[in-house]
Structure 1
Amino acid sequence: MKLHELAHVLKDVNPERSMPHPEVVIRGISYKSQEVEEGYLFVAIKGHKQNGHHYIDEAIENGACAVIGEEVERGLEVPYFQVENSRKALSLISDHYYHFPTADKILIGVTGTNGKTTTGSLIRNILEDNGWSCAFFGSTNNVINGEVYTTGNTTPTLLEINRRLYGSNDDVVVIEVSSHALTQHRVEGVAFDYALFTNLSHDHLDYHGSMENYFQAKKKLFGMLKKSGKAIINTDNHWGALLAEQLRGQGQPVISIGEKDMDDVKVDRYTSNPNSLLLKDGDGTLSMRPSLYGLHNMYNIAMAYATVVQIGVKAEDAVFSIERFEGVEGRFTVMELKSGTAVAIDYSHTPDALFHCLNTTRELCAGKLIHLFGFRGDRDGSKRKEMISISSELSDQYILTSDDLNSVTSEEMKDILIDLQEKYGNRNGRVILDRTRAIEEALASTGENDWVLITGKGHETYQQSYHYPVENDGEAVSFLDEK
């Protein structure tokens, strides 16, 4: 892409400074000034904590040949394009720069409070088992052309998606689409073939302010469907039922998932011992024995099933793949210890997810159930009381401990946890600030037929150091089991 082509893509936007060399080739695009190299286009973005406009000079020093931003800038050494929304401009430009790499692929967007990763991963596995090459962008990793890459945000920017997919041979792309990504226009311009809504419950209210705002953010995904696109919605929750009603009122085709006879794919019967699921799809009935546990995962399975059969996978082939799927790391990952204790590690960090996770563990547990969890610093504090209430009701004992501190100090978090326990906890709960010490104490208090449920972090690496030299909950459990 050349500078004059950039001006054409941005249409009515004229650079603040004339272009002395309109044929200059843009050799890369970045919104991170430290990553800018000679000949790059720098896009200045106003973030939640940082303002990219403050780093324009650094980007130019590093070799930026042009800059895009929202604020008025004067006297820059390179052409400056002032736009109304830098994030939208970034998406638009990256599509042109990488020659629209998603245009010839089937695009699936998955949104919801809980279940995005499991549903998206299951879709990918079923498709891969049945002859489709499938890329995946999710909170645990990104997979393109079968290669696995680490990830930062749940949903990367379209620039990063296009960069990864440029030259990709994948037939299908599955993207976990967070409410933050939709609000921040990270996937602006993407036209989805399928949009999935797993559920909506209390989360991110520190960012969105209200459940209605949170819902409206999620709803944006369904405005990005192609004319031939389909919405696949779990209607067994208030927000899903509302979304389906609103979309149908607009003439949008909706495939409903739920326990009602009228649902397109019905979660008809689930038992946990033995683990079995019965789905009804139209006139057909499908019986399966999935490896995943919990009613919430049966909905994830139904969502994935409904999607892949629309794409062209035969029902019986989908069932075969579902039964082979062993789950996602950190999503109810079960470890059997030498003592006979079972440990489940899960990412649950919302009241609804915690409720389902504890219920699932309770169904499997023949002995004592100890729950270990914490709260992230500088995050939505309004859900903490409810989460403690759920844990105190469904576990035999619970331990409040550290999660990511962010900008909160260790001592501040200790005071927060003690205060929460005193106000909302019961006598079966206690506070152990060091997460690895808390895990050690939980394991020491259990034996054969007992379960320990560790929630909040899942697959994620610890952000701070603890007493034992481990990097995540799984490593902590393994280390202490061998100790």
Structure 2
Amino acid sequence: MTSQCTGVDRAHSGSGFALNDVAVRLGVQCVPADANESKTVITGISQDSRRVAAGEIYAALPGANQHGAAFADEAAARGAVAAVSDRPCPPLPTFVVDGPRRILGPLAAWIYGEPSRHLDVFGVTGTNGKTSTAYLLSAGLRGAGTEHGLISGVSVGGPQGEHPAVRTTPEASDLQRTLASLRAQGASAAALEVSSHALALHRVDGIRFRVSVFTNLGPDHLDFHSDLENYYAAKARLFAAERSAAAVLNIDDDHGKRLGAELDIPHRTFSTTSTAADFYAEHITADEHGTSFVLHHGDERGATVRLRLLGAHQVDNALGAIAALALAGVDLDSAVAGMSELTSVPGRMQRIDAGQPFLAFVDYMHNTAGQHRQFRYLRSLTDGKIVVVLGATGERDPSKRQPLGATAGTLADIVVVTDESPFSDDADELRGDIVLGARSADHAAIVVEPDRAAAFATAVALTGPGDVLVVAGRGHDPIQTFGAVTRAFDDRVELRNALEHSILLGDR
């Protein structure tokens, strides 16, 4: 699909309400009053002052560091006709409301014609597996011949193309505009990755989900949610009756079982261990070429599913996608056939092959639950060494760092510690926490190389024939950030470069 901010998208999404219609909708008047309130036609709404277009409302939201009201002049210069905020935003007439984040999603949905009421929206939330499940849903919909969109942390796409994602789940106004654009492009469904931040910050308010999927839950983002209970509560919001019509739950996860007991909407379960689940898998095999399993559901028994995606954990993701599509009435034979054509999910156990005599992967594993799942698979591929390149991203939960190092130090044989994106944090401190954790395992050899490209070269040199090398933590992210400085750095590209350079030098 075209960019969220193109004229094409805006032309298809605005519904032509006037400012006085917005006043009635919100129950407040502009401050100061606008003499043209009944004539000024609203073309859209945006929370980004740099991208607001003529005729749009500017949503001036409170932020972590600055308030959107500080950028009202810029929004006005770009043609915004009013603002909505928790304070006046001169020079724009402002609808002053309590909690503007809470009203932004429903207001944007109304402005853009309630697009989720005209689409089968599949939401996916959980700690791990969200992106892969969303991609599998997309592949299943494609296999069934359904025009649809995919909104994930990797990309946003639809019938007319795609563009890179900015965050896991877009801000509410961007999200509603995107759904409206998908509808205008002829889509009848959308797969949407839903983060806990998006739920806590009301980004998906105003969306009606046809089916929502719960993958799993483990400690993550506790810098934002403070504890696991608050993290679970944020995830559980997706499954409220006013938001989702139905649910699909992983009952191999204790939080999935708990969620099932608390829901008052129709739901189905999936499992790789329990035949009591509505959808369950047996005879799971995973090798360097793909993953297969035997699917059981309802009266259907013994259908073999073959995926090109790598790792047994992809069976969980496939089961969640299959169950969700079945619950929505999608033809499963066609959907499963579509899933079998999905070759990879960007940055998720993505194989990098330059002709080297060992397996090499880039993976997003960025928490200990993901590490346990992925290292189990990697160990099944080799009788030799596992070499992992690992770092810690800055401005994230610091309590994750040492456990990440400890898990890698326990499950790998060589840990090459390097920089990810420190942002404003001290890079030496980030590396030091990973090293401290890795050393506590008293198992793996540890090498420290701050420069990420040099760390890749070091890791390649330490990996022998028949071994396995994995670059962990960043996945598809193409940018490294050091304070105010950014540079292009795609782990998939740079790992391939390191492998090719090693072969060129005759090291292999």
> TM-score with structure 1 length normalisation?
0.92
- For the residues of structure 2 that align with 1:233 and 1:9, how far apart are their CA atoms? 36
Does the residue aligned with 2:246 lie in a helix, a strand or coil?
A: strand
Aligned residue in 2 for 1:459: 476
The alpha-carbon deviation at position 363 of structure 1 amounts to 0.7
CA contact (8 A) 1:401 1:417 kept: no
Does the residue aligned with 2:205 lie in a helix, a strand or coil?
A: coil
Aligned residue in 2 for 1:376: 393
- For the residues of structure 2 that align with 1:116 and 1:122, how far apart are their CA atoms? 10
In 2 relative to 1, CA 418–296 (structure 1 residues): closer, same or farther, beyond 3 Å? closer
Alignment of 1:282-431 (within 5 A): 282-285=298-301, 286-421=303-438, 426=443, 428-431=445-448
Does the residue aligned with 1:353 lie in a helix, a strand or coil?
A: helix
Alignment of 1:8-27 (within 5 A): 8-10=24-26, 12-22=27-37, 23-27=39-43
Q: Please identify, of 272-281 and 38-47, the stretch whose mean Cα deviation from structure 2 is larger.
A: 272-281
Does the residue aligned with 1:268 lie in a helix, a strand or coil?
A: strand
- For the residues of structure 2 that align with 1:378 and 1:87, how far apart are their CA atoms? 23
- For the residues of structure 2 that align with 1:411 and 1:387, how far apart are their CA atoms? 16
In 2 relative to 1, CA 472–65 (structure 1 residues): closer, same or farther, beyond 3 Å? same
Aligned residue in 2 for 1:59: 75
1:40 paired to 2:53: no
Does the residue aligned with 2:402 lie in a helix, a strand or coil?
A: helix
Q: What residue identity is the alignment partner of 1:17? A: P
Query: How many pairs are equivalent?
Result: 473
1:437 paired to 2:454: yes
1:170-213 deviation digits (Å, cap 9, x = unpaired): 01111111000011111111111101100001110000000000
The alpha-carbon deviation at position 61 of structure 1 amounts to 4.2
The alpha-carbon deviation at position 89 of structure 1 amounts to 2.6
1:162 paired to 2:176: yes
Does the residue aligned with 2:118 lie in a helix, a strand or coil?
A: coil
Aligned residue in 1 for 2:141: 127
Q: Which residue among 260, 263, 270 is the counterpart of 1:257?
A: 270
Q: Which residue among 461, 475, 481 is the counterpart of 2:493?
A: 475
Does the residue aligned with 2:107 lie in a helix, a strand or coil?
A: helix
- For the residues of structure 2 that align with 1:408 and 1:226, how far apart are their CA atoms? 37
Alignment of 1:146-225 (within 5 A): 146-164=160-178, 165-166=180-181, 167-223=184-240
Q: What residue identity is the alignment partner of 2:316? A: Y
1:67-121 deviation digits (Å, cap 9, x = unpaired): 21113x38x4442211112123322222222222222111111100111111111
1:102 paired to 2:112: no
In 2 relative to 1, CA 3–276 (structure 1 residues): closer, same or farther, beyond 3 Å? closer
CA contact (8 A) 1:106 1:193 kept: yes
1:298-327 deviation digits (Å, cap 9, x = unpaired): 100111111222233333333322322212
The alpha-carbon deviation at position 331 of structure 1 amounts to 0.6
The alpha-carbon deviation at position 288 of structure 1 amounts to 2.3
* Unpaired runs of at least 5, structure 1: none
CA contact (8 A) 1:16 1:79 kept: yes
1:113 paired to 2:127: yes
Q: What residue identity is the alignment partner of 1:6? A: V
Q: Please identify, of 150-159 and 109-118, the stretch whose mean Cα deviation from structure 2 is larger.
A: 150-159
- For the residues of structure 1 that align with 2:148 and 2:54, how far apart are their CA atoms? 34
Does the residue aligned with 2:239 lie in a helix, a strand or coil?
A: helix
Q: What residue identity is the alignment partner of 1:373? A: L
In 2 relative to 1, CA 169–427 (structure 1 residues): closer, same or farther, beyond 3 Å? closer
1:31 paired to 2:44: no
Does the residue aligned with 2:348 lie in a helix, a strand or coil?
A: coil
Aligned residue in 2 for 1:269: 283
Q: Which residue among 246, 253, 278 is the counterpart of 2:262?
A: 246
Does the residue aligned with 1:300 lie in a helix, a strand or coil?
A: helix
CA contact (8 A) 2:101 2:201 kept: yes
In 2 relative to 1, CA 433–280 (structure 1 residues): closer, same or farther, beyond 3 Å? same
The alpha-carbon deviation at position 26 of structure 1 amounts to 2.6
Does the residue aligned with 1:102 lie in a helix, a strand or coil?
A: helix
Aligned residue in 1 for 2:99: 85
Percent identical among aligned pairs is: 29
In 2 relative to 1, CA 288–41 (structure 1 residues): closer, same or farther, beyond 3 Å? closer
- For the residues of structure 2 that align with 1:109 and 1:176, how far apart are their CA atoms? 6
The alpha-carbon deviation at position 416 of structure 1 amounts to 4.2
Q: Which residue among 297, 320, 328 is the counterpart of 1:281?
A: 297
- For the residues of structure 2 that align with 1:119 and 1:478, how far apart are their CA atoms? 26
- For the residues of structure 2 that align with 1:311 and 1:428, how far apart are their CA atoms? 50
- For the residues of structure 2 that align with 1:192 and 1:244, how far apart are their CA atoms? 17
Aligned residue in 1 for 2:505: none
1:365-415 deviation digits (Å, cap 9, x = unpaired): 232210111111121121222222221221111112111111124444444
* Unpaired runs of at least 5, structure 2: 1-16, 502-508
- For the residues of structure 2 that align with 1:336 and 1:117, how far apart are their CA atoms? 23
- For the residues of structure 1 that align with 2:333 and 2:236, how far apart are their CA atoms? 32
> TM-score with structure 2 length normalisation?
0.88
The alpha-carbon deviation at position 225 of structure 1 amounts to 5.2
- For the residues of structure 1 that align with 2:286 and 2:313, how far apart are their CA atoms? 12
1:69 paired to 2:82: no
